[in-house]
Amino acid sequence: KAYIRVRTWNHFDRYNALKAVREVGIHTASDDLNCQYYYRKVAREERLPLSSWAVLRNYSYELAPDGIYLFRVSVNNYNLISEDEYNNPLISSAFLRDRTLILTWDIETYSSRKTGEVPNAKYDEDKVFMICMTVHWKDDPEPLKQICLVDVETAPDPGWITIALTIHNMTGDLLWRKPVN
Strands 145-150, 161-167: pairing kind: parallel
- For 30-72, the DSSP string reads -----GGGHHHHHHHHHT--SSS-EEE-S-EEEE-TTS-EEEE
pTM, 2 dp: 0.44
Q: Which whole-number Å values give the CA distances from 88 to 53, 64, 82, 95, 154, in the listed order? A: 14, 37, 10, 11, 49
pLDDT for the residue numbered 163: 84
CATH 3.30.420.10, the chain: domain bounds: 101-179
pLDDT tens track for 85-130: 888 888 777 777 777 888 898 888 888 888 878 888 788 888 888 8
Query: For residue 163, which phi and psi values (nearest 5 degrees)?
Result: -125, 120
CATH of 101-179, one of 3.10.20.30, 3.40.50.300, 3.30.420.10, 3.40.50.970: 3.30.420.10
Residue 133's pLDDT band, with cuts at 50, 70 and 90, is very high
> How far, rounded to the nearest angstrom, does the alpha carbon of residue 119 sit from its chain's CA centroid?
18
pLDDT tens track for 47-64: 888 777 888 889 998 888
**What are the helix (H) ranges across the chain?**
11-23, 38-46, 83-87, 89-96
What's the Rg (C-alpha) of the chain?
Answer: 22
